[in-house]
Structure 1
């Protein structure tokens, strides 16, 4: 076997791998000899079939296996010897379309190698961590929201008109033409106006209604409505308003605290404060992570595989195009060419991705099975009732597994760098943190 370099241009590499006919023939004979004791053929005892007959019967199929195994072995040996790590799957093609048994096998292999990545001195990195304490006003605001979720409704004064946010208790009968349709009727139904829990337009037509009013509501069912016979159909609802109730937020007291699992109001306030500060901490981490990436980008430089940058630029261009055209859900649109700005952003992402991967590799950072399971569980919750199917789908999809694993790995590497870097805390107001987060979205 011979491996000859044909291309050495930056990170681009090319090689010709030649496997002689004699080598292939020897390996075929070895495989047949290994399998011979188990082979039975009419006219011969088990394990006594002559080699020439075995070769005639099974040789072509074994030759295919041998060729694949030999080329794979040559590639693996090449990467082990050179230390090259392909940026993408190497392109491998056989030379000559008229190959026949007895000929040498010649294969051309091309790839882009990952660059040598310099190891930055992580201990010299200086970062600032924003710290926000939960203020009394923040806690009061959060408690008010909790009280709002626990609100009740009380009857408005007789003759009061229903407003947005009020609850109306109604009986209704839905009809297509003059005929009531299945599932279109209810009694004593509590409907909060403005909740958008009914067909679009239904709740709007009850604003201004009073207890005792009879209202005919006319709506058109959406084209994507669940019931096939109602899609796009105009329907009327005969509605009787039985009560109009105003929202009454729950009192912020010990009783409210108990509804949310706390012993008393002070305990609830403490829990709320901890939750708020955890949220502030998450936002502050995002700000510090961006600062870290900026530092790493400035302090390191190395050649980037063009294929990775181009693939990332096209993905960025495609994603941003869909954000600008939310009405387009499919991907059968024309090609979207990356701009210079897309290329610049792609180069940064590829550079930082390779750098973090290298830091993680040298630090022997990995994603555990338990971490992957927890991440898959979190995503599965987005598909109620289909969690098992989602798990099965992930299990059989290597690309999706990598998509789930990548951000976990990146966060672990970032946390590892945070531990080594010099981090100083700076206590700021909530508004300052919010501005810093908004700036992330602008960049």
Structure 2
């Protein structure tokens, strides 16, 4: 076997590969052994007819399709390895010569991994990221705890619906006097003033009594998400079944004892602040890291093949599909609900897919230049972290299983983490 390589454009190469006649004949014999049971030739038991007899009946090329595939499967990977290229897609194969008594010749045109020209990635200037916890943040969290522990009581007959009340309602919606799908509910608990329902629906219930009904007129938002409802006026027939009122507990030390392990409200506030600060610090850390990586990526030059962006978009679509499954949905339902389509979603994802590919290539190049590697100890530690998420009784055994089954993923995680640390440590923080 011999081959010639030609660069067609920046990220595409073309090989002309020649397989010697004797090697091709061996592939024909292999194809014959694979398929001879299919042939029933007069004078021979099924599957026992010699190669030459079958060829005389069906033509010399009867086994060429499989023989060609055998040759390509044997030679193409070898050519890729010899020329040290990294394909990012399946090759486009064209047959040049396939004849009896001649060498088999074919071409393979393939898109390869692009070259990355790194720009400045050390010492990039990145603005400081901070999320300080304010007294207002703490108070809002405290109010949320207060709401969560509110007592709900029925209002007396004859009392009116007010803002802040919970109205138990039956409703049915109509557009152009026709009931629409999803516009009906029974014994629905609606907090007045929560903004749960569209337009001023909730405001129109203020002043009603238990047992009263009313036609509520509203307009759907232009971008509601359902083509048949977008921007349409609608009428809802609403009946008040009951009215409930929230009775909020007093925010004092007794409240603290009831809802937490602390004895005073001040201790609860301090705990809220501490947890918020920890969360905000982690958020700021991740955002700063993203900024540093984005700066390194922006400074690099890469001509990304379209096929890599397409493959990444495929992956993102698969991730979306998996998330939807957890919610009991599928892509078809998602497209209908968002008034979209696969084409629109792919188009929307394209920019993010391009960034993900670009970032991956830059990170790989930096790890190569800086000789960043994952040690066996680091891989074991990462495997233990993943094992802990499964709440396994035998963490060491689970970690070993993960290390064996997902080694390449662990290597990438560890190497990426070390590259990010390298970039962050050298970055210049701008106030």
**TM-score, length-scaled by structure 2:** 0.58
356, 363, 372: which one pairs with 1:356?
A: 363
CA distance in 2 between counterparts of 1:373 and 1:102 reads 63
- In 2, the alpha carbon distance for the partners of 1:123 and 1:56 equals 70
Aligned counterparts, 1:54-69, within 5 A: 62-69=63-70
Is 2:283 the counterpart of 1:282?
yes
Q: Secondary structure at the match of 1:148?
A: helix
Task: Write the deviation string for residues 399-441 of structure 1: whole angstroms up to 9, x where unpaired.
Answer: xxxxxx99x998755422233356399999xxx9xxxxxxxxx
Aligned counterparts, 1:21-40, within 5 A: 21-30=21-30, 32=32
TM-score, reference length from structure 1: 0.57
CA contact (8 A) 2:309 2:357 kept: no
CA contact (8 A) 2:219 2:234 kept: yes
Q: Counterparts of 1:359 and 1:117 in 2: how far apart (Å)? A: 10
| 1:411-426 equivalent positions in 2, closer than 5 A | 413-421=415-423, 423=425
Q: Which runs of 5+ in 2 are unaligned?
A: 178-182, 227-232, 315-336, 391-407
Q: Distance in 2 between matches of 1:175 and 1:290?
A: 47
- Which of 205, 212, 215 is equivalent to 2:213? 215
Shift of 1:148: 2.7
In the alignment, what sits opposite 1:148?
147
2:340 aligned to which of 308, 329, 340: 329
The Cα shift of 1:258 comes to 6.6
What does 1:185-224 correspond to in 2, within 5 Å? 190-195=189-194, 203-209=202-208, 211=209, 214-218=212-216
Residues 132 and 280 in structure 1, CA contact (< 8 A), matched pair in contact too: yes
**Contact 1:122 / 1:417 at 8 angstroms: preserved in 2?**
no
Q: Deviations over 1:66-94 (max 9, x none)?
A: 21121133221111111111244333223
For the 8 Å contact 1:117–1:358, the answer to whether it is kept is yes
The SS at the match of 1:7 is strand
- Relative to structure 1, the CA distance from residue 163 to residue 85 in structure 2 (aligned partners, 3 Å threshold; closer, same or farther) is same
- The offset of 1:275, in angstroms, is 4.2
Which deviations, in whole Å up to 9, do the C-alpha atoms of 1:368-422 show, x marking residues without a partner?
79969989xxxxxxxxxxxxxxxxxxxxxxxxxxxxx99x998755422233356
C-alpha distance in structure 2 between counterparts of 1:370 and 1:364, whole Å: 19
Write the distance in 1 (CA, Å) between the matches of 2:11 and 2:429.
Answer: 46
Report the counterpart of residue 321 of structure 1 in structure 2: none
Would the alpha carbon gap of residues 44 and 152 (structure 1) be closer, same or farther in structure 2, given more than 3 Å must change? same
The SS at the match of 1:84 is coil
Structure 1 residues 24, 191: CA separation in 2 closer, same or farther (over 3 Å shift)?
Answer: same
**Quick check: 1:221–1:235 contact (8 Å CA) kept in 2?**
no
Give 3-state SS (helix, strand or coil) of 1:353's partner: helix
Aligned residues of 2:124 and 2:427 also touching (Cα < 8 A): no
- Whether the aligned pair in 2 keeps the contact of 1:218 and 1:234 (CA below 8 Å) is yes
**Cα distance in 2, alignment partners of residues 92 and 372 from structure 1:** 44
Deviation by residue 1:25-59 (Cα, 9 ceiling, x = unmatched): 2222245468989x999976899664545666898
- The alpha carbon displacement at 1:287 in A equals 2.5
- Relative to structure 1, the CA distance from residue 193 to residue 410 in structure 2 (aligned partners, 3 Å threshold; closer, same or farther) is farther
User: 1:111 aligned to 2:110?
Assistant: yes
Deviation at 1:126, TM superposition (A): 8.4
C-alpha distance in structure 1 between counterparts of 2:130 and 2:32, whole Å: 70
Cα distance in structure 2, aligned partners of 1:213 and 1:34: 80
Change (3 A) 1:184 1:131: closer
Matched, 1:17 2:24: no
Deviation of residue 3 (structure 1)?
1.3
Instruction: Tell me the number of residue pairs that the alignment of Structure 1 and Structure 2 aligns.
Output: 361
Deviation at 1:220, TM superposition (A): 8.9
| Partner Cα separation in structure 2 for residue 357 and residue 198 of structure 1 | 49
Could you say which residue in structure 2 is the equivalent of 1:439? none
Matches of 2:343 and 2:115, distance apart in 1 = 39
Give the Cα–Cα distance (whole angstroms) in 2 for the partners of residues 163 and 292 of structure 1.
52
**1:423 partner SS:** helix
1:252 is the counterpart of 2:240: no
Gaps of 5+ in 1: 178-182, 226-231, 316-325, 337-341, 376-404, 433-443
| Aligned-residue RMSD, C-alpha | 5.8
Measure the CA separation in 1 of the matches of 2:45 and 2:219: 77
Could you give the per-residue CA deviations for residues 164-201 of structure 1, whole angstroms, max 9, x where no partner exists? Answer: 3322356x587999xxxxx97967x7542244666877
